Amino acid sequence: MKLILVRHGETLWNRENRIQGHTDVELSDDGRMQVKKLALSMEKDKIDAIYSSPLKRAYDTAQAIARFHDTEIKVEPKLRELNHGDFESLTIQELKETHGAFLKEWIENPASVVMPNGESLAQVQERVWDVMGMILETSRDTLVVSHGMAIMTILCKIQNLSLSNARQMFVNMASKTVVSFESGQGTVLLLNDISHLNEII
């Protein structure tokens, strides 16, 4: 089976380097153009099932892709982004000024921290993988639209990597990553592809 992992398009908070996590921020105008290009690049892909985070930025991305496929979008709350707790809505600069030591640890060893009144990467991976396990049992070619940190934890799990390596699995906004599964083993065929964003439409 084939698994396509897509990160949502840009929001204004992304552009402002503002932490959004569980906050339900909509796509920006540029984000809508990104997902239009992404959807067109996937028009002829075989997609039997589509799963999406319920957050608008992800669901609207899934809708843009689903227009080309006769497939209902299944909304899965467990595909939401990392809950940043007390840090939601802060800019990275504000976080640097108020919680510099925490930010340094988060950047250098993301697996070691828990967001105050939020989640750790391990908690995100556990809930996201509940959905992934269900998807893999179906053996259907599946699109999953989610968020940066959530997708990074999925890719770590597939490749048997520690979550301390999560940042090596970074995915851009409106990117697609393709994984092939044979006998339960996943092989990353395409990582963080954003070539479609250069297309003129």
- Tokens coding 31: 């984000």
pLDDT at site 184? 81
Q: What kind of architecture, by CATH, is found in domain 2-198?
A: 3-Layer(aba) Sandwich (3.40)
Please name which of 56, 45, 53, 43 lies closest in space to residue 74, comparing C-alpha atoms: 53
Q: How far apart are CA 80 and CA 68, in angstroms?
A: 24
Question: Which residues are identified as catalytic?
Answer: 8, 147
pLDDT at site 183? 83
Residue type, 136: L
pLDDT at site 199? 82
pLDDT at site 201? 72
Buried b (16+ CB within 10 A) or exposed e, 9-39: bbbebbeeebbbbbbebebbeebbbbbbbbb
* Torsion sign (Cα): 99, 103, 109, 115: positive
Please name which of 55, 56, 62 lies closest in space to residue 4, comparing C-alpha atoms: 62
pLDDT at site 200? 80
Mean pLDDT in consecutive groups of 10 residues from the start of the chain, 201 residues: 98 96 97 98 97 98 97 97 97 94 91 96 98 94 98 97 94 98 92 94 72
Q: How far apart are CA 177 and CA 188, in angstroms?
A: 8
Instruction: Sort 153 into a burial class: Cβ within 10 Å, 0-12 / 13-18 / 19+.
Output: buried
Q: How far apart are CA 19 and CA 26, in angstroms?
A: 14
